[in-house]
Structure 1
């Protein structure tokens, strides 16, 4: 049975010299009209884009792609939308540091001194009004109400910590009824998941998922986890193992989901020794039928884990090394459209190396092109590039706040 600890998270100062709080915009008195008018109210900002680079993070206006802030950070960081439409969680040495993009406000972006403490911060999951943080160094899971971050003021929201058992690179999910799913692993490897109800009682468990990695929650809260030989599906209190056609190694490591579709698209590789090479097939998992199919993509359509996103009409959008976004329909397993966006590119040597990435918000995709230091906004309903910006730095990871 798990032990739950409910606590109020404190402030954790990052290294000395942390970024100081930026002054909020102040309104300027309007010109006198009919004996004097009230001060003009600044317009609230729209959605924002966070882009990491070596040693810093840019915050861009999502419509114009104009840089509105350039903030110092650690040399390599990962970016995850917090889920509240304003904040981004940045993986730093102390934990998950809160980046306020100021989306939807009249304030200035700021890399705050607020940190959700974590030993080796890893996956961030957003589902059912909760944001779930996983610490690889302890296997602890930290949970908070997503929208509470907006009203927490100068502190962090109340959090719930579920202690881990053995440290490993893992992930946790909390369903709307309180069911807690978490990966199982240790020094010798990762093996599967456990599912517990809100009181901590065990519902189901599986150790049939070697190298478990990544997760995604599809329609009706069916949760998929990738394995080195297939995938696990948790649905309605039961765990189903789906075998890959390639054995003993046919790895799905990341799940790309829509919470309105029962179909999950996953990446897929068959070479355990390859680090940064491009992938040329995807998995399609039907969480209702309980099936896993591997779909070979057309010649020249190759990608990395950063290059698939779900978007309009529950389709998958694959940013390929040929420079185009290929529109993949998981229901028919066919490429149904494609539109050029960037120049052709080669796969990274290491996964951390800058290479093109795609994120989707509403009907728009935001695409990085590190080779020319560019970011593009693409209307996925038409395939048109609606704006492009050239940066002074090389973009790496990207996240969207607000939509």
Structure 2
């Protein structure tokens, strides 16, 4: 979500209420402008019997009403405008269910008709007319869903159902629990940000890290010292997630290593005995702080995310329980200078390839750290057609000619790349190749149009024999700065790579959906 809206799901009142956070962003590529106003109720409400699961996907929000077996779906735009305009999709019976708006389709839980009080038994996909598409995908004891990048997952007693974009409807694959796992199942999932993974509970005193792209050994179990109270992922530092346990400790999970990296005592013990909804600590990540609620002491505990040390407390009234962090980083401009600034983008010349040699500075692999997806498949399946049409509106070629050009440029069989420290992993047709790389400087290239580009080069120091000897990044930046996307060249001949100007496989964060990638491309 973009932070502009928050929704309050009030189960006992039978109402889902939209709240404008008062925070909005204007993206300027190298930075963002942030506007902050007082939060307020928008006036949009969705009413029904026993609202439960509330899911956002690609800017649409689906509220499932257990008492009716009905999903009501509203766009963020309508909610912020105060319009209670929603579309409704019905299931066969009341259930403790869930729905997800998935492009032009909706994915819904299928009730257990023989035992209505038990959990759903699968998921059903319907089109815009509400007509079922394909067969019901089995998912016994369905409970828990999450998105990570372009992958959606549902937790079942037998494993996960993993959904990805298909030609005409979502493609569904069953990822079974590994035989090495003890008896148990996940009933709550959270999707990783920056790195593509899922974090799920597994029994009362364990969590499991799940790689949804793996064919085998997809589950890594992490034992906890006591029973789990709450867990959350870090969207800013993708390598980490956090678990709070009933002994009052906050644990930092290293997602890459698959283990607890640090633990910090924050509160008195909170027993998991009693009602499931009794007030207990909850975790949120807010910028450089991790925030943990302490309902019994009426305070919020602040933890420095970098040092994982206590960073203070905030006293509040009542019993702080659930917590949502809304915000982001940006520059605040006063109204007098705002209009002038909106038309002033000095770095546009650098982006277009016009700069001086002394502006170029060495960069480290940390600028490209994270989990990245190739956009080639999106070009092939037509997802990027609006981008090509947009280019044709102001360019010198037709949309089809642009598409043919990018067919050569984007072409690759490396569908995913992860970068963690000095380790780069290439996923070629699903098979990983891993190696360590060190900086080998940079080269400034001159092009026929008169502009220039910079290749930041890294040389293999260790790793798989088939991993390339050299990788060269080009991302329109010329000095240390976090990449929002990049073009990558790789091979065993450093000089020959510098001559390659027609094929430039392009990668965007795996956390972005296809729709978000289209929006990013059209913004440039």
- Work out whether the TM-score is over 0.5: yes
Deviation at 1:100, TM superposition (A): 4.7
Structure with more helix by fraction: 2
Does residue 196 of structure 1 match 2:121?
Answer: no
CA gap of 1:234–1:86, structure 2 versus 1, over 3 A, is: closer
Candidates 132, 147, 155, aligned match of 2:62? 132
CA distance in 2, matches of 1:200, 1:314: 40
Q: How far has the Cα of 1:225 moved from its partner? A: 1.1
Q: In 2, distance between residues paired with 1:147 and 1:84? A: 13
Q: Which residue of 2 aligns with 1:173?
A: 100
Alignment map for 1:3-402 (pairs within 5 Å): 84-92=3-11, 93-103=13-23, 105-107=36-38, 109-110=39-40, 114-150=44-80, 152=81, 155-175=82-102, 177-186=103-112, 187-189=116-118, 190-198=120-128, 200=130, 202-206=132-136, 208-220=138-150, 222-236=151-165, 237-243=171-177, 245=179, 250-269=184-203, 279-291=204-216, 292-298=218-224, 300-304=225-229, 306-311=230-235, 312-402=237-327
Provide the C-alpha distance between the structure 1 equivalents of 2:213 and 2:161, rounded to a whole number of angstroms: 13
- Between structure 1 and structure 2, the one with the greater Rg is 2
Task: Please list every run of 5 or more consecutive structure 1 residues that lacks an aligned counterpart in the other structure.
Answer: 1-81, 270-278
SS of 1:142's equivalent in the other structure is strand
TM-score, L = length of structure 1 = 0.67
Matches of 2:239 and 2:56, distance apart in 1: 18
Bigger relative CO (Cα 8 Å, ≥ 6 apart): 1
Which whole-Å deviations, capped at 9, do the CAs of 1:231-290 have from their partners, x for residues lacking one? Answer: 222234123141364899622101011243331110012xxxxxxxxx211122211114
Give deviations 1:42-77, integer Å, cap 9, x for gaps.
Answer: xxxxxxxxxxxxxxxxxxxxxxxxxxxxxxxxxxxx
Q: CA 1:191–1:387 in 2, change beyond 3 Å: closer, same or farther?
A: same
Give yes or no for contact 1:240–1:290 (8 Å, CA) kept in 2.
no
Secondary structure, aligned partner of 2:176: strand
Inter-CA distance 341–267: structure 2 relative to 1 (3 Å threshold): same
Q: Report if the CA contact (8 A) 1:226-1:252 is conserved.
A: yes
How large is the Cα RMSD of the aligned pairs? 2.9
Deviations 1:155-213 (A, max 9, x none): 325322222321111111123x3232111114153101122344555444445322211
Match of 1:43 in 2: none
CA distance in 2, matches of 1:317, 1:204: 38
Give the aligned partner of residue 473 of structure 2: none
Q: 1-side partners of 2:178 and 2:201: how far apart?
A: 12
Contact persistence 2:3–2:21 (CA under 8 A): no
The question of whether the paired residues in 1 share the 8 Å contact of 2:45 and 2:84 is answered with no
Q: Extract unaligned runs of 5+ from structure 2.
A: 24-34, 166-170, 329-524
**Mapped contact 1:84–1:146 kept (Cα < 8 A):** no
TM-score by length of 2: 0.53
